[in-house]
Structure 1
Amino acid sequence: MGDARTLLDRSTHGHGSNLKRLIIEIMIKSDRQSRIARRTGLSSASVSTAVQELSANGVVETDKGGDSSGKSRSGKVRLRELRGVAIGVDLGFNHVSVVARPVTSSFDQVIQRRETPGMNRGLRLLLPDVLNLIQDAVEETGQKMADVVATGLAVPRMVEPRTGMFTTPVLAPWRAEDRPIQELSAALGVPVAMDNDANLGALTEQTYGSDEAVEHVAYVKASTGVGVGIMIGSTLLRGQRGMAGELGHLTIEPDGDVCLCGGRGCLDTIVGAESLVAKAKQAQRGSSREAPSTLGALVHSAQAGDAVCGRILSDAGRTLGFALAQLCNLINPRHIIIGGELAEAEHLVLDTCRQELRRYALAGTVHQDGDFKLRTSALSPFAEAQGALILGLQSRSSK
């Protein structure tokens, strides 16, 4: 069995760079040559030449099949057996999610782990638990920690794209002195790449959410706060300082509550988890019934028929729809995908969200005939961790 580390240590210059890039893209997703060319930006001829060379060297193989006429047709390019595991970690405020996948396995064969609490404990206390989850997931793949070849990290904060570090000001629960990349890298012995969780959710949806090429995708992470990852083709729209897509800090009520960011009336203060739970507690004051203490519990109660929780989620959908209408008018996405805990409410949020989209967005941006879709993520709650795994592998192309 070959070793993925050896392949990923290839030269990053000239022809070797194209070979390495192609290997990484196949690790991310086995695919047809035409789709690999589109994902990498390489020419079809370059991909074909590289596949032929890698095939001759026993690194990849191509599935072959036949159509109804008996003629052969191109199949997916896949790696032959290799030792190596890729890791994705999502450090949420109330949870930690970890995915581990052998580099030769399909994305839907990933090992998943999820645990509460999350970053609300602080990085120093949380790190040992994160490492235990990683080790447990890696061992279930049948491999060892020494076989980890790439690691990515998703965080619900803004990340400076040029440095891979937090964009200032660093908001709670993180502290300015926190160094998650360095600490995780030192513990695992491999480089770690970090990005905003909504960005990585968008990367996952663009890569694994559909076999069709979707040019404009917006992934909405709605949990403790609201963030949006925006994919334009194969490119993440990060902005100059990594602050693109901070929909949660869009001002909805100019005279509303003060937000963690220092603003007032931000979307986060209206549909963020803390705000929604507080509304449920306020509505049920004086009642002998126990009010939900988490967003997950609130969603569960609403799905069980609780009128108060159902109304809170319905109203949250309206407010979110109003904010997403502004997004549609600005970037005109083809797909908007809702992830995070709020997505678990499904139609309780989506129905009113669609109503407000139609009311406030330009009609052409949300018209069904234009292939516009608003849906929840089928890859949730591990979409962000899956995106982190992709990021970790992509980062190896320059190392």
Structure 2
Amino acid sequence: MADVQDLFGRLPEAGPTRAANRRKVLLAVAIKSGTQADIAYRTLLSQATVSAAVRELVEAGLVPGTKERGKIVLSPVNDVGVGVHLGTNHTTVVARRLDADFDQVTSRVSSEGVSRGWHRALPEVRQMIDAAIAGTGGRRSDVFSLGIAVPRMINPRTGGFTQPILPPWREGDDPAGDLGAWLGVRTFIDNDANLGALAERTYGTREHAETVVYVKASTGIGAGIIVHTSVLRGHGGMAGEIGHLTVDPNGAVCQCGGRGCLETVIGADALIAQVHGARTRNGAPVLETLEQVIAAAHARDAVCMRVIRDAGRILGQSLAQLCNLLNPDLVVLGGRLAQSQLLLEGCRESLQRFALPGAVVENPQFVLDSSELGTWAEAQGALILGLRGMEYAGSNA
């Protein structure tokens, strides 16, 4: 059976450029099978270069000599890719053999996140990774790549948290270093909204959308922005931090030190507080989690329906400004809050009211929709990140 990792150390006579192109094509196919034209589009290589790289991969036994339904796929391999989403109140792990389709993942989910502290969460995260790997039929030694998604800003130049480091993370926390050393692989980390955008852009039905905005609405609020195939991160990894846009200059103080940030108005804690304030006046049972609020809204609880729809309207106002600035083709709502259709409805109302018509209403290319990948988007994006990073890791990974 061929091994992806072995290829990174083989065929040195190919020269650095040819070897780099071969790695790029190999990892693009591992992320998602596709036609030669698809691979050329994703890698920004010419079709002639892709064709040459595929021939070398066929010779190495990593790609079959005949295409499957017109698509380039990997031959059977043992290698496993892993993606981890370390949420504040949830943890999701996905693992996939690289020769399997992107949706054939094994997963483990925990309702415990890193709110208890990273070092207290670490043992359970390791157990979840081991269980997900075992679900693929593999072992820990088969792990080829690891990517991590966190709901915090990550400096793309250092791979560490961008200042200020906000709770529950603390100075010195290094999830990529800790998990990478444990697994023995080079590990890559990024903001979870960025990786949600990467997954939607890669695995959604609108892969060829030029500009994609993914909004994660959950405990906090963030946005990931994809232009063509590149994540827009900014110099310090702060691009897309819409949760810290000021929407009420006299509002509540945010954990970032600002006042009246969007997150203080429509983040999970703010919505639960609104529901609690209304329901205690009529003696109704107290709802303590965002999931309970969403479930009550689905059951047509008047208070919860109003709170979520209004949250959508407020979010839509910020997205209208984003649409005026970026003119995206696609805006995707993800995160736990997006599980309610009421959020989408509220967003659409505000976009029609506040966005420039040419950016939204009169733009035939524009789409606002909920996530196709649901709560798996960030972990799937982390898996993609890990594979993309291996393009540059080479045989030293």
Give the TM-score range, shorter chain. Answer: over 0.9
1:102 is displaced (CA, Å) by: 0.2
Which residue in 1 is equivalent to 2:52?
49
Which residue in 2 is equivalent to 1:243?
238
| Deviations 1:84-127 (CA, angstroms, capped at 9, x unpaired) | 10000000000100000001000110111110110101111101
Which residue in 2 is equivalent to 1:111?
106
Which residue in 2 is equivalent to 1:25?
28
Partner SS, residue 107 of structure 1: coil
| Deviations 1:294-348 (CA, angstroms, capped at 9, x unpaired) | 11110000001110100100110110010100100110111000000111112x1
> Do the aligned residues in 1 keep the contact of 2:357 with 2:363 (CA within 8 Å)?
no
| Deviations 1:206-238 (CA, angstroms, capped at 9, x unpaired) | 100125411000000000111000000011100
* CA distance 1:156–1:212, shift in 2 (3 Å): closer
Partner SS, residue 161 of structure 1: coil
* CA distance 1:9–1:53, shift in 2 (3 Å): closer
| Deviations 1:54-109 (CA, angstroms, capped at 9, x unpaired) | 223322124265xxxxxxxxx11011111110000000000100000001000110
1:8 is displaced (CA, Å) by: 3.8
CA distance in 2, matches of 1:64, 1:287: 62
Partner SS, residue 374 of structure 2: coil
Query: Is structure 2 residue 79 aligned with structure 1 residue 84?
Result: yes
Query: Is structure 2 residue 166 aligned with structure 1 residue 171?
Result: yes
| Deviations 1:272-303 (CA, angstroms, capped at 9, x unpaired) | 00000000111112443212111111000000
RMSD: 1.3
* CA distance 1:315–1:80, shift in 2 (3 Å): same
Equivalence map 1:127-276=2 (5 Å): 127-210=122-205, 212-276=207-271
Query: Is structure 2 residue 4 aligned with structure 1 residue 4?
Result: yes
Moved more, 169-178 or 56-65: 56-65
CA distance in 1, matches of 2:231, 2:277: 40
Letter in structure 2 aligned against 1:358: Q
Q: Percent identity?
A: 48
Partner SS, residue 218 of structure 1: strand
Query: Is structure 2 residue 119 aligned with structure 1 residue 124?
Result: yes
* CA distance 1:147–1:374, shift in 2 (3 Å): same
1:53 is displaced (CA, Å) by: 2.2
> Do the aligned residues in 2 keep the contact of 1:364 with 1:370 (CA within 8 Å)?
no
* CA distance 1:56–1:186, shift in 2 (3 Å): closer
| Deviations 1:168-207 (CA, angstroms, capped at 9, x unpaired) | 1101110011111111111111111000000000000110
CA distance in 1, matches of 2:67, 2:299: 47
Query: Is structure 2 residue 19 aligned with structure 1 residue 16?
Result: yes
Query: Is structure 2 residue 333 aligned with structure 1 residue 364?
Result: no
Work out which of the residue numbers 273, 291, 305 in structure 2 matches 1:310: 305
1:380 is displaced (CA, Å) by: 1.4
> Do the aligned residues in 2 keep the contact of 1:2 with 1:82 (CA within 8 Å)?
yes
Structure 1 residue runs of 5 or longer lacking an equivalent are 66-74
Partner SS, residue 370 of structure 1: coil
CA distance in 2, matches of 1:181, 1:57: 31
Report how many aligned residue pairs link the two structures: 389
1:259 is displaced (CA, Å) by: 0.6
Equivalence map 1:260-339=2 (5 Å): 260-339=255-334
Q: TM-score, normalised by structure 1?
A: 0.95
> Do the aligned residues in 2 keep the contact of 1:25 with 1:40 (CA within 8 Å)?
yes
Work out which of the residue numbers 85, 89, 92 in structure 2 matches 1:94: 89
> Do the aligned residues in 2 keep the contact of 1:202 with 1:231 (CA within 8 Å)?
yes
Q: Flag as ranges the 4+ runs of structure 1 deviating above 3 A.
A: 8-12
* CA distance 1:324–1:189, shift in 2 (3 Å): same
Work out which of the residue numbers 366, 378, 396 in structure 1 matches 2:372: 378
Query: Is structure 2 residue 67 aligned with structure 1 residue 63?
Result: yes
Partner SS, residue 260 of structure 2: coil
Partner SS, residue 67 of structure 2: strand
Letter in structure 2 aligned against 1:351: E
CA distance in 2, matches of 1:64, 1:29: 13
Partner SS, residue 255 of structure 1: coil
Structure 2 residue runs of 5 or longer lacking an equivalent are none
CA distance in 2, matches of 1:178, 1:335: 34
> Do the aligned residues in 1 keep the contact of 2:309 with 2:346 (CA within 8 Å)?
yes
CA distance in 2, matches of 1:106, 1:64: 12
* CA distance 1:253–1:16, shift in 2 (3 Å): same
Which residue in 2 is equivalent to 1:71?
none
CA distance in 1, matches of 2:8, 2:306: 52
